[in-house]
Amino acid sequence: MPETPDNPTPRSVLVTGANRGIGRAIAERFVAAGDRVATIYRSGDLPEGVFGAVGDVRDTASVDAAFAAIEAEQGPVEVLVANAGITRDQLLLRMTDEEFSDVIDVNLAGAFRCVRRASKPMIRLRRGRIVLISSVVGLYGSPGQVNYAASKAGLVGMARSITRELGSRSITANVVAPGFIDTDMTRALPEATQKQYVDSIPLGRFATPDEVAGVVEFVASPAAAYISGAVIPVDGGLGMGH
């Protein structure tokens, strides 16, 4: 892709939670594209070429300190991928306040803390790409995941409000909504449940993390400059129509 004012190369990219799973695959994609890539992560090893700032998205001071370290290393963040997420599955009747609020704190408020911190430099630059990793479950629903679905649906309202607030500064905000992806998160499900899910997916399989990463890379690319406030499914047809 040629270098243009809207497409300086390499770009400063931040992917939260790039030590494993989908976040790791996304970070690897941007590294392969020649971008400068950083992550806010808690532990573990990182893909080659990724700058790691230890931090926890549940804590504003920790997020702010990690951003400062990343900015010092590679300049203001031009592409933010809010990927860090957790599940605490439980049936509604048994779900505790902690199980509900823990998931909201990481998945929704954690994304908010990162977006808020990233937005000022993006406004100054008059460009930016914000990609929020949601889930098919956010709009489709899932028994035992009232907390998780609420957190992931909230990201849609967040991206659309950011679009309305910051769109005039050439900042886009989109949601990528994966279906079932082969990562630690889905491997933790009982085998019978995994089989049940596979049977309900029109494409008949889970996706690889890289199949999500490719879509994120596109949404952050110059080719997607006019896409904002969109929910882009990567779910093998599971949620179509939602």
Segment near ligand NDP (CB under 6 A); pick from 73-81, 123-131, 183-191, 217-225: 183-191
Active site residue 226: no
The angle formed by the CA atoms of residues 40, 146 and 177, to the nearest 5 degrees, is 50
One residue of 79, 183, 228, 239 binding ligand NDP per CB under 6 A: 183
| Distance (Å, whole) CA 16 – CA 114 | 9
Three-class DSSP category at 231: strand
Segment near ligand NDP (CB under 6 A); pick from 39-47, 95-103, 161-169, 223-231: 39-47
Chain-centroid distance of CA 80 in Å reads 8
- Within residues 191-220, the interface with ligand NDP by CB under 6 A covers none
Dihedral angle of Cα 183, 213, 53, 50, to the nearest 10 degrees = 110
For residue 157, the minimal CB distance to ligand NDP (Å) is 16
Rule CB under 6 A: say whether 23 interacts with ligand NDP: yes
Contact assessment for residue 47 and residue 28, using Cβ atoms and an 8 Å cutoff: yes
Dihedral angle of Cα 64, 66, 85, 78, to the nearest 10 degrees = 90
Rule CB under 6 A: say whether 184 interacts with ligand NDP: yes
How far is residue 112 from each of residues 50, 61, 198, measured CA to CA in Å? 23, 13, 32
* Active-site hit among 41, 140, 148, 197: 148
Closer residue to ligand NDP (CB): 154 or 178: 178
Rule CB under 6 A: say whether 50 interacts with ligand NDP: no
Where on the chain is the footprint of ligand NDP (CB under 6 A)? 16-17, 19-23, 40, 42-44, 56-58, 83-86, 106, 110, 133, 135, 178, 180-181, 183-186
By annotation, the residues acting in catalysis are: 148
